[in-house]
């Protein structure tokens, strides 16, 4: 009898919770196929993973109830125009409450206009270009640090090396993100003793760097900084080897932190510098995943590949919404938008808070590939490990 | 001066590979009057074929090259025989459209089969280089250049001196007469397209060794091959070689003296100029 | 059916379409704008490709120039939208005349390749121009409300189709058709082939440019890749060919049908949409190379044998 009553009570409670639970809808259009799918998948998978973890922990507290998160992901096939249309669909037809962003500044630039147009907050972790945040839009937030600051910590590190590099070659692809990086780097480098002797913009679709490399070699440049995409950086390193170009140091905005990039290059990846706004360290504590290291392990087990800062930043996006909704105690877009602007919490990605333009500010940790492993070298608190500098010549490795 | 010399060496080596890329396109265009917009996709497939032979079976890419060629030959034969043969007498413009359709389908299927991850073919000697009169010459590029030259010569010999080659040329010139001589055009057309695809496969293998592979490299390579085909001329394989070398050198020099973002402007600009001024190519016979 | 009946039907159709923004969902309006713009492009291609028989692979240049005219005018100089459109049209027509002169001397596939090359050159040139934002592109001011764009696109399509209708009944049009059928004979008979070809090219550039301007303003974003997209060229050609080149309503029909199918696929089974496009092209070229209009006409007579006959006509 008691058991039956208990069972009834449980059923009623269950029914009651089901009846009152209206899941909070999140929508995103991500590059799951197409030429950016290589990085786009980090976002799709990470959004999924975060939503699952948050739901398993009970969901989001709004008013007196806990609501689950519902995620709808569309594949934009790496086509900007399609992603714009999909965001409109998500807002107007699927009636999602909030938007998560795609990868790549070009996409974010176009898609954020939809968020602004329909007054639906979008948090994205895929676009860092300054242009995104200089339009005065109120409904777009970003968890990637400003593009123009990407090489700052690298430049700092270079000032501390012995003997410090004197000449610099700055190469950048001609897309929104990399142009922003180059503009910022040029400005910051002018404050140091470095002399920029090669300053070349190259086409995003380029695969042949022989001419640039030959120029760099003829000028005997000490340090090379490259702002580009993974495929370009890969080509660059391989061609630097075949043309026997031996700078003292080279650093890249992308590629180095990704495991499959290092695997593709094998031994040739050694000595390359890169940066990451995130390292999977146990020191980064998280409410849902424990800490960043645990997250990385679970992610790898779940999806079969290691996460990098793209994935971590995507998780931060979802968590930021949760925190904002709970803080606003509502799912009204205007209230949540204001709450997002004020969030400040620690997560596996680091400290999440947005400046007045809507962008996060996280320092970049300089990393280097040493003997096949990714080693954090220089962080906001100074040297973490000794860098291997200068880079030995190709023939001597 | 030293720098210019290095740039020229870069350009020549690149040019050889370019020429090989365009060779298959030119053969099919000249003989079948088919402008194959899927040519780059075939190059991409050749690169993947070599990649899987290299990583899966451990074969050296230059050893895998003939196998990749055979695989692509079969694919090309089937495409021509069972699809393209059906529209071969339609306005030539239809072949442009249908091969574009193929390009979309092949790229999509490749992305499903191979994933969008970029791949590299990295044999142990990939970084080797040596010095030649002050310029650094990467070994793989030199080997690719040699293979490209060999295949160009091989194609020429094939077309001039073998029975099948002569039959192909005859069919191109006069279908009715060729038929009277017992040539089966269905088979011969398929054969020609197959050879074109095989050459694309070879180019893909070499491309995979000097650059990186992903399912989307096709359309860019088709464009390049076009420019080379038009600039050089469609009549003989040696013209294609000249066109390839010309483009390789022009691109290398442009990248240095004008800027790396201007190479496409120059390549396609020359393409348009050549078409306007001398449509049979810089070397071709005036119509 | 009689032409006047077709016209009446079209009139009703247009009136209906014009009301869509008021009762249709936002997604339908979105789809509508895209389909209308594509239909305009297909129709403008019809002028040079369908009627004149010069298959241009470079109409995306006019589209892109229209878009950039609007973008540069509004973003760099703060000029209003109509002025931007005018600039875009000016650029496109100028391009059509200047480059049309040498390029229209080429025949058949050489013309197609040359226009394809032009599209690539323009992409490369614009991605180097600072005023156009190089490869990063330009962000246009945001306008809330799609009604404006829907009605503009509809008006544009109507105007373009009226132009094609006028062409089909005018001496100019007969001259174009004569050029298509046998250019040398046309010249011998006194048709000023060069003038007519340039005019056709310039006319189609106007409509493509306006389409590009509207699209750029609507999407609020423009970069060389999307403005001069080669795939867009093929899309408009396929739609025109699928619908029926050289007819008045064929390209419009083709554009709407193909857009609808593509959009449905993209929404439901996103991954299939791109391969669908490729398969449609292959199948259409093999089985119905003369277009949908021809299919409808002849199907009555031959039934399923229509497809077989097509193959027999064109195969080895």
List chain A pLDDT tens, one digit each, 397 residues. Answer: 555 555 545 555 554 444 445 899 999 999 988 778 888 999 999 999 999 999 999 999 998 899 999 999 998 888 887 888 889 889 988 899 999 999 999 899 889 988 998 999 999 999 998 889 988 899 999 999 999 999 999 999 999 998 999 999 999 998 889 999 999 999 999 999 999 999 999 988 778 899 999 999 999 999 999 999 888 898 899 899 989 999 999 999 998 988 878 888 888 999 999 999 888 888 899 999 999 999 999 999 999 988 989 999 999 999 999 999 999 999 999 999 999 999 999 999 999 999 999 999 888 899 999 998 999 999 888 888 999 999 999 888 8
Could you count the other beta carbons within 10 Å of the beta carbon of residue A386?
Answer: 10
The answer to whether position C59 is within a domain reads yes
As given in the structure block, the two tokens for residue C12 are 């009703």
As given in the structure block, the two tokens for residue A72 are 């709808």
As given in the structure block, the two tokens for residue C263 are 């959009």
- How close is the nearest chain B Cα to the Cα of C45, in Å? 14
Q: For A218, which of B2, B128, B214 is closest by C-beta distance?
A: B2
Instruction: Please indicate if any CB of chain A lies within 8 Å of the CB of C230.
Output: no
Q: For B272, which of C117, C128, C289 is closest by C-beta distance?
A: C117
Q: Please judge whether B226 and C113 are an interchain contact, meaning their C-beta atoms are less than 8 angstroms apart.
A: yes
d(CA C44, CA A75): 31
Residues of C in Cβ contact (< 8 Å) with B108: 274-275, 278
d(CA C270, CA B108): 12
Instruction: Please indicate if any CB of chain A lies within 8 Å of the CB of B277.
Output: no
Beta strands in chain B (DSSP E): 119-120, 129-132, 135-138, 212-213
Can you state the percent helix, strand and coil of chain C, rounding each to 5?
A: 80, 0, 20
Best residue in C121, C220, C228 for a mutation probing chain A (most A CBs within 10 Å): C220
- How close is the nearest chain C Cα to the Cα of A32, in Å? 9
- How close is the nearest chain B Cα to the Cα of A53, in Å? 27
A contact residues 177-236, partner C, Cβ 8 Å cutoff: 179, 201, 203-204
* pLDDT tens-digit profile, chain C (316 residues): 677 888 888 888 888 888 888 888 777 888 899 899 999 999 999 999 989 989 899 899 999 999 999 999 999 999 999 999 999 999 999 999 999 999 998 887 788 889 988 998 999 999 999 888 888 888 888 787 788 899 999 999 999 999 999 999 999 999 999 999 998 899 998 888 999 999 999 999 999 999 999 999 988 888 888 889 888 888 898 889 888 888 888 899 899 988 888 877 766 666 677 788 788 888 888 888 877 777 777 787 777 878 887 888 777 7
Q: Please judge whether B259 and A37 are an interchain contact, meaning their C-beta atoms are less than 8 angstroms apart.
A: no
Residues of B in Cβ contact (< 8 Å) with A214: 3, 6-7, 10, 256
Q: Give the number of domains in chain C.
A: 1
Q: For B3, which of A208, A214, A394 is closest by C-beta distance?
A: A214
Residues of B in Cβ contact (< 8 Å) with A234: 118, 120, 212
C contact residues 41-60, partner B, Cβ 8 Å cutoff: 55, 57
Query: What residue has token string 């060629």?
Result: B69
In chain B, domain spans? 2-277
- How close is the nearest chain A Cα to the Cα of C109, in Å? 27
Structural domains of chain A ordered from first start: 2-146+281-352 (3.40.50.2300), 149-277+364-396 (3.40.50.2300)
Give residue C30's domain range: 24-229
Instruction: Please indicate if any CB of chain A lies within 8 Å of the CB of C137.
Output: yes
Q: What is the SS3 assignment for C138?
A: strand
At B93 the pLDDT is 79
Contacts of C107 (CB under 8 A, 6+ apart): none
With a cut of 50, which residues of chain B have pLDDT below it? 287
Q: Please judge whether B122 and A264 are an interchain contact, meaning their C-beta atoms are less than 8 angstroms apart.
A: yes
Query: What residue has token string 């005036």?
Result: B286
Q: For C142, which of A74, A117, A131 is closest by C-beta distance?
A: A117
ipTM of the complex, rounded to two decimals: 0.85
Best residue in B15, B120, B207 for a mutation probing chain A (most A CBs within 10 Å): B120
d(CA C110, CA B57): 44
Q: What value, to the nearest 5°, has the Cα angle with vertex B216 and ends B213 and B220?
A: 95
d(CA A145, CA B225): 41
Instruction: Please indicate if any CB of chain A lies within 8 Å of the CB of B280.
Output: no
Q: Please judge whether B276 and C113 are an interchain contact, meaning their C-beta atoms are less than 8 angstroms apart.
A: no
Contacts of A123 (CB under 8 A, 6+ apart): A98, A99, A100, A101, A141, A142, A143, A317, A320, A321, A340
At A16 the pLDDT is 45
Question: So what CATH class is B2-277?
Answer: mainly alpha
H or E element in which residue A154 lies: helix A152-160
Q: Please judge whether B108 and C278 are an interchain contact, meaning their C-beta atoms are less than 8 angstroms apart.
A: yes
- How close is the nearest chain C Cα to the Cα of A382, in Å? 35
The answer to whether position C264 is within a domain reads no
Residues of B in Cβ contact (< 8 Å) with A258: none
- How close is the nearest chain B Cα to the Cα of A247, in Å? 16
Residues of A in Cβ contact (< 8 Å) with C134: 174, 179, 201
Q: How many CB pairs under 8 A join B and C?
A: 135
Residues of A in Cβ contact (< 8 Å) with C25: 92-93
Q: Please judge whether A200 and B263 are an interchain contact, meaning their C-beta atoms are less than 8 angstroms apart.
A: no
d(CA C106, CA C94): 19
Among candidate residues B38, B49, B30, B11, the one with its CA nearest the CA of residue B202? B49
| A35-69 per-residue burial string, b: 16 or more CB within 10 A, e: under 16 | bbbbbbbbbbbbbbbbbebbbeeebbebeeebbeb
Residues of A in Cβ contact (< 8 Å) with B136: 217, 242-244
Best residue in A75, A211, A254 for a mutation probing chain B (most B CBs within 10 Å): A211
At B134 the pLDDT is 86
Answering whether pTM is above 0.90, one says: no
Among candidate residues B121, B128, B151, B6, the one with its CA nearest the CA of residue B52? B121
As given in the structure block, the two tokens for residue B99 are 């091969």
The answer to whether position C86 is within a domain reads yes
Among candidate residues A390, A383, A385, the one with its CA nearest the CA of residue A375? A385
| A255-280 per-residue burial string, b: 16 or more CB within 10 A, e: under 16 | bbbbebbbebbeebbbbbbbbbbbbb
At A260 the pLDDT is 79
């Amino acid at each position: 009898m008691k058991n039956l009553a208990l069972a009834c009570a449980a059923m009623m409670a269950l029914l009651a919770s089901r009846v009152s639970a209206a899941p909070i809808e999140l929508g995103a259009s991500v590059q799951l196929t197409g030429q950016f799918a290589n990085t786009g998948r980090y976002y799709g998978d990470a959004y999924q993973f975060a939503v699952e973890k948050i739901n398993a922990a009970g969901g989001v507290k709004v008013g007196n109830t806990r609501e689950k998160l519902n995620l709808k992901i569309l594949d934009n096939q790496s086509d900007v125009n399609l992603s714009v249309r999909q965001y409109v669909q998500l807002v107007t037809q699927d009636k999602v409450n909030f938007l998560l962003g795609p990868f790549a500044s070009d996409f974010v630039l176009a898609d954020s206009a939809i968020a602004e147009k329909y007054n639906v907050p979008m948090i994205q972790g895929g676009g860092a270009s300054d242009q995104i945040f200089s339009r005065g839009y109120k409904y777009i937030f970003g968890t990637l640090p400003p593009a123009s600051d990407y090489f700052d910590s690298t430049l700092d590190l270079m000032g501390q090396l012995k003997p410090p590099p004197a000449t610099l070659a700055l190469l950048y692809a001609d897309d929104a993100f990399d142009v922003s990086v180059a503009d910022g780097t040029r400005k910051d480098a002018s404050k140091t003793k470095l002399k920029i002797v090669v300053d070349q913009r190259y086409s995003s679709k380029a695969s042949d760097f022989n001419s640039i490399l030959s120029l760099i070699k003829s000028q005997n440049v000490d340090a090379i900084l490259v702002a580009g995409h993974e495929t370009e950086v890969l080509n660059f390193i391989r061609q630097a080897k075949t043309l026997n170009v031996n700078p003292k140091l080279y650093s890249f905005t992308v590629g180095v932190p990704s495991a499959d990039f290092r695997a593709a290059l094998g031994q040739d990846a050694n000595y390359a510098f890169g940066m990451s706004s995130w390292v999977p360290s146990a020191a980064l504590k998280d409410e849902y995943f424990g800490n960043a290291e645990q997250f990385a392990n679970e992610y790898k087990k779940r999806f079969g590949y290691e996460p990098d800062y793209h994935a971590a930043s995507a998780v931060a996006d979802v968590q930021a919404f949760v925190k904002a909704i709970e803080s606003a105690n509502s799912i009204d877009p205007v209230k949540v938008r204001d709450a997002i602007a004020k969030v400040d919490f620690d997560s596996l990605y680091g400290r999440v808070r947005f400046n007045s333009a809507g962008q996060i500010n996280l320092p970049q940790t300089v990393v280097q590939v040493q003997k096949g492993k990714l080693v954090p070298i220089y962080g906001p608190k100074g040297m973490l490990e000794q860098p291997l500098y200068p880079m030995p010549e190709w023939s001597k490795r | 001066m030293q720098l210019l010399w290095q740039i020229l060496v870069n350009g020549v080596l690149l040019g050889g590979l370019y020429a090989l890329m365009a060779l298959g396109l030119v053969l099919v265009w000249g003989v079948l009057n088919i402008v194959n917009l899927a040519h780059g996709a075939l190059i991409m497939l050749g690169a993947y074929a070599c990649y899987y032979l290299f990583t899966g079976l451990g074969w050296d890419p230059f050893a895998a090259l003939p196998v990749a060629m055979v695989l692509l030959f079969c694919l090309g034969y089937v495409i021509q025989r069972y699809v393209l043969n059906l529209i071969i007498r339609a306005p030539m413009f239809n072949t442009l459209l249908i091969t574009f359709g193929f390009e979309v389908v092949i790229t999509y299927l490749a992305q499903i089969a191979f994933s969008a991850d970029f791949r590299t073919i990295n044999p142990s000697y990939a970084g080797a280089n040596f010095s030649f009169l002050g310029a650094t010459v990467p070994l793989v590029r030199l080997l690719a250049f040699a293979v490209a030259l060999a295949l160009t010569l091989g194609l020429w010999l094939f077309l001039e001196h073998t029975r099948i080659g002569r039959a192909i040329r005859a069919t191109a010139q006069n279908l009715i007469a060729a038929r009277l001589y017992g040539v089966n055009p269905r088979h011969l057309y398929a054969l020609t397209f197959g050879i074109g695809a095989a050459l694309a496969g070879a180019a893909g293998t070499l491309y995979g060794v000097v650059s990186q592979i992903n399912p989307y490299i096709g359309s860019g390579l088709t464009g390049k091959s076009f420019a080379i085909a038009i600039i050089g001329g469609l009549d003989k394989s040696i013209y294609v070689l000249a066109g390839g070398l010309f483009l390789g050198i022009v691109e290398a020099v442009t990248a240095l003296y004008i800027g790396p973002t201007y190479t496409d402007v120059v390549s396609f600009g020359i393409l348009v100029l050549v078409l306007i001024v001398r449509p049979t190519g810089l070397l071709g016979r005036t119509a | 059916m009689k032409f006047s009946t077709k016209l009446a039907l079209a009139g009703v159709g247009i009136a209906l379409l014009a009301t869509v923004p008021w009762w249709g969902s936002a997604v339908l309006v979105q789809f509508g704008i895209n389909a209308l713009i594509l239909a305009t492009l297909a129709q403008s291609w019809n002028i040079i490709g369908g009627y004149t028989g010069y298959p241009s692979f470079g109409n995306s240049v006019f589209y892109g120039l229209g878009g950039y005219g609007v973008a540069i005018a509004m973003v760099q100089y703060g000029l209003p939208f109509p002025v931007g459109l005018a600039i875009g049209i000016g650029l496109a027509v100028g391009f059509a005349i200047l480059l049309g002169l040498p390029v229209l001397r080429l025949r058949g596939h050489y013309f197609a390749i040359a226009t394809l090359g032009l599209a690539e050159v323009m992409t490369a040139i614009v991605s180097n121009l600072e005023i156009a934002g190089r490869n990063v592109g330009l962000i246009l001011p945001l306008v809330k409300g799609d009604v404006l764009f829907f009605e503009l696109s509809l008006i544009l399509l109507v105007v373009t189709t009226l132009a094609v209708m006028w062409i089909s009944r005018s001496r100019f049009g007969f001259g174009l058709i004569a050029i298509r059928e046998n250019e040398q004979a046309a010249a011998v008979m006194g048709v000023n082939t060069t003038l007519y070809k340039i005019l056709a090219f310039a006319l189609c550039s106007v409509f493509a440019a306006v389409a590009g301007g509207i699209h750029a303003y609507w999407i609020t974003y423009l970069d060389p890749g999307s403005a001069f997209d080669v795939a867009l060229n093929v899309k408009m050609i396929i739609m025109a060919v699928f619908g029926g080149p050289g007819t008045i309503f064929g390209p419009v029909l083709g554009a709407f049908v193909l857009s609808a199918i593509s959009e449905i696929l993209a929404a439901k089974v996103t991954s299939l949409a791109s391969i669908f496009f490729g398969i449609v092209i292959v199948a259409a070229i093999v089985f119905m190379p003369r277009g949908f209009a021809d299919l409808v006409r002849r199907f009555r007579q031959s039934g399923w044998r229509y497809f077989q006959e097509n193959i027999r006509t064109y195969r080895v």
